[in-house]
Structure 1
Amino acid sequence: MAHSTVNSTNISLNAGTELHPTNVSSVVMDIPEEIFLFLCMFSLLENILVVIAICKNHNLHSPMYYFICCLAASDMLVSSSNLGETLIIFMLKKGVIKFEHTLIKKMDYIFDTMICCSLVTSLSFLGAIAIDRYITIFYGLRYHSIMTLRRVVIAIVVIWLASLVCAVIFIIYHESGAVVLCLIVFFLFMLALMVALYIHMFALARRHARNISALQKGKSRRVTPHQVRANMKGAITLTMLLGVFFLCWGPLFLHLTLVVSCPKHYICHSYFYYFNIYLLLVICNSVIDPLIYAFRSQELRKTLKEIIWCSW
């Protein structure tokens, strides 16, 4: 992940080689490891609490919250990866431990695989939540027959397995520009898909808003105002999650795009210099997501409070 630290034997832990290939300048802005450690530990604690809360509260046992639970697990993956790597870098820098270069390279690959898997799963589960909200709004009467527990479990297993396979392939062929390009295309495709779903959902919301008075007068009972508000609240929550994801991961994907398109241009090199900032933003995404869950869901916020108070 190129935290740009080197131990006394000049062996660096340059994880993220697929993000920062050899033909790109390795000179990057240095950020204190303590900042990475703090954010990673805080994020890990937050997301663990979210997973526990969803598992504990039976009112949160619905497809959307199952996907949110997996999104939190994905955030835990990226936090754990950064935390483990930062700890090793810190200990190498202080001379507490010494590893052979081959062992360091293997650890790089493990950490990179975790980060790439987290990226693919985060995008996939954001897409799954968007599809869930779409079905809720447009096929509300058939929702429970469409989003069965069996289908949700299958979707979750497929996403995790496919993400792991993609991450391994990405790390093995990290020097190939085509592989990096595939990841960029996947990122843009998922964003385009979710934006299209949101536009359709919010267009329907406007129509529902115009018909609220008619619903209240009893002219139609298919959708109640309460259902409309609840469905759109879920869509707004997902919009916030997507916006934060784009802001936090966007700079890193721009970095990848420049790595493929202009790795030797001086303007691109000036952007590569801030690589560690982009990694820091990725960790910030895993810190912010649980705050959005808690802020938007009263039930989840209540459960989190109970867990925190009981732990004291």
Structure 2
Amino acid sequence: MNTTLLNQTDCPEVKVPWPLFFIIGVVSLAENLLVVIAVISNRNLHSPMYCFICSLAAFNSMACLIKSWENLMILLADAGHLQKTDLSAKRLDDLMDSLLLMSFMGSIFSFLAIAVDRYITIFHALRYHNIMTMRRTAAILALIWTVCGVSALLMIHFFEYFFIMISFVVFFVVSLSIICFLYVYMFMLARIHAQKIASLPSGATRGVLTLTILFGAFLVCWSPFFLHLIIMMVCPFNPYCECYRSLFQLHVVLLMSHALIDPAIYAFRCPELRRTFRKMLLCSQLL
């Protein structure tokens, strides 16, 4: 995405050393690929919730890979090895923006799917395995990836249209509102029906807390970047808005750090994943 300041302001653009981008990108990519491999390899993790977590890790991997590749292109362009005006470079930039937007939307949809899964686990425990079958889980994942891919391509292609910009903002706000409502609703019902909830497996309520932490990390890491996009739309020529836009590279670092934080939360909060990581790193046989 274009980070060139449109106006002269008293806020110089904050630069982040390019090696930091690649270090975060490589480490994040390795961590999230480890999560994907762990879920695929361990049959004990072949459940709807872990499938959605695997999808979230895949979207995180995509975001890290795309931003690392985009930073590499910027370095090549600054060194004179790549012409920014080339049509092929413009198309490649649009493709990378589409994939980044796809990973952003996919992360939100993955969180939404996980929230619904946890709701069914807690409040429809006896019917859970009839409602959330692996076939339905596969269909949901296929729908998420298809919708996110098509929507991202269309949004980037028609991003100049005001309707598309508004739709993007509405999607973000509505999606986060639904997810927050589900989590708050689950915790409120859990307090009202404390005795009933206590009879459920401890992993159910523990899973809700884990996913709440994951969602909180997502909000902290992605919100500055999303606010940057909103400012690009609503006040592109305002010097005060440009001061916030001057922090773009810091917002990108924070965005990429989300993919770095998630696997650490998985490992800390999920014993089965922790055991799987240990076996993978020690080259032990998985279940």
TM-score, normalised via structure 1 length: 0.84
Once the two structures are superposed, residues 162-183 of structure 1 have per-residue CA deviations (whole angstroms, 9 ceiling, x without a partner) of: 0001110111012223212211
CA shift for structure 1 position 226: 5.2
Separation of aligned partners in 1, 2:7 and 2:118: 43
CA shift for structure 1 position 239: 0.5
Equivalenced residue count is 282
Q: Which residue of 2 aligns with 1:67?
A: 52
Q: Which residue of 1 aligns with 2:237?
A: 264
Q: Which residue of 1 aligns with 2:191?
A: 206
CA shift for structure 1 position 255: 1.6
Partner letter of residue 107 of structure 1? L
Do the aligned partners of 1:3 and 1:30 also contact (CA within 8 Å) in 2? no
Q: Is 2:264 aligned against 1:291? A: yes
Question: Greater CA radius of gyration, 1 or 2?
Answer: 1
Separation of aligned partners in 1, 2:274 and 2:152: 33
The structure, 1 or 2, with the larger RCO (C-alpha pairs under 8 Å, 6+ apart) is 2
Once the two structures are superposed, residues 172-213 of structure 1 have per-residue CA deviations (whole angstroms, 9 ceiling, x without a partner) of: 01222321221111111111111111111112222343x27x
Once the two structures are superposed, residues 102-159 of structure 1 have per-residue CA deviations (whole angstroms, 9 ceiling, x without a partner) of: 2221110111011000001000000000000001111111101110111111110011
Separation of aligned partners in 2, 1:41 and 1:153: 29
Unaligned segments of structure 2, at least 5 residues: none
1:182 alignment partner, one of 159, 167, 175: 167
Question: CA separation of 1:310/1:24 partners in 2, compared to 1, >3 Å: closer, same or farther?
Answer: farther
Q: Which residue of 2 aligns with 1:98?
A: 82
1:34-113 to structure 2, matched below 5 A, reads 34-95=19-80, 97-99=81-83, 101-113=86-98
User: Per the alignment, in what secondary structure is the counterpart of residue 310 of structure 1?
Assistant: coil
Q: Is 2:277 aligned against 1:304? A: yes
CA shift for structure 1 position 71: 0.3
Separation of aligned partners in 2, 1:117 and 1:250: 16
Q: Which residue of 2 aligns with 1:143?
A: 128
CA shift for structure 1 position 3: 6.3
Question: CA separation of 1:57/1:24 partners in 2, compared to 1, >3 Å: closer, same or farther?
Answer: farther
Question: CA separation of 1:23/1:169 partners in 2, compared to 1, >3 Å: closer, same or farther?
Answer: farther
Q: Is 2:260 aligned against 1:276? A: no
1:196 alignment partner, one of 176, 181, 197: 181
Name the stretch that deviates more: 64-73 or 144-153.
144-153
C-alpha RMSD of the superposition: 2.2
Separation of aligned partners in 2, 1:24 and 1:52: 48
1:155 alignment partner, one of 140, 156, 177: 140
Do the aligned partners of 2:122 and 2:200 also contact (CA within 8 Å) in 1? no
CA shift for structure 1 position 23: 8.9
Once the two structures are superposed, residues 186-245 of structure 1 have per-residue CA deviations (whole angstroms, 9 ceiling, x without a partner) of: 111111111111111112222343x27xxxxxxxxxx66351x22111111111111011
Unaligned segments of structure 1, at least 5 residues: 5-19, 213-222
CA shift for structure 1 position 262: 2.0
Do the aligned partners of 1:40 and 1:82 also contact (CA within 8 Å) in 2? yes
TM-score, normalised via structure 2 length: 0.91
